[in-house]
Structure formats: structure tokens, C-alpha cells
Structure 1
Amino acid sequence: MSKNYEKVKRLYNTEAWPLNWVQDAVNRWITAAEYQEITGKEYEKE
């Protein structure tokens, strides 16, 4: 699990972070697989 996984999950679940911010965190703070766990959506690179 990435170092910032719990932080990103908490921020997303409390609606402090919108979905696009979680997308921006992929490969910086979290992995694509963790993105899917947090959001329930498959990560699609823009």
C-alpha cells in the first residue's frame, strides 16, 4: 500500500478532494490499482 493511500482515501471519501484530484495523485501518491479501490472506477490515463 502506498504511503499516502489512507490520506487520499479519506480526502476523497469526505468529499474534500474531487475525482480529478484523485486521478492526479495516481503515480505520484497512489497506484492505479489503489485509485480503483478508492473510487470504484477503473483508472484511465488522460
Structure 2
Amino acid sequence: LQDVVAVYDEMGTGTPFAEALETHIGVNLVEFEANYFDSVKAYLASS
């Protein structure tokens, strides 16, 4: 969760979403979009 907060904090300084995502989550935007629903399902199943 702290990584997600860091993405939003960095975007607040003007950094584009794609750059902040790769910096803090370690995933590029294309990969994120391609795997979004599978990632959310896996996260929800683990919580």
C-alpha cells in the first residue's frame, strides 16, 4: 500500500503516472495494463 501512496505523491509533484508507477511499483505501464485484472484478483484473494 505504501508503494501506491508513493506513486500518488510523486504524481502530485508533476511526474507522469507511467514514470511514477515504474519507479515505485517496478512495472511499466504496458505490463500494468495487460495484467491489471489478474493482479487485482490475486491481491484480493490474498487479503
Q: Which TM-score applies when normalising by structure 2?
A: 0.34
Q: Which has the higher contact order (CA 8 A, sep 6+)?
A: 1
Higher helix share: 2
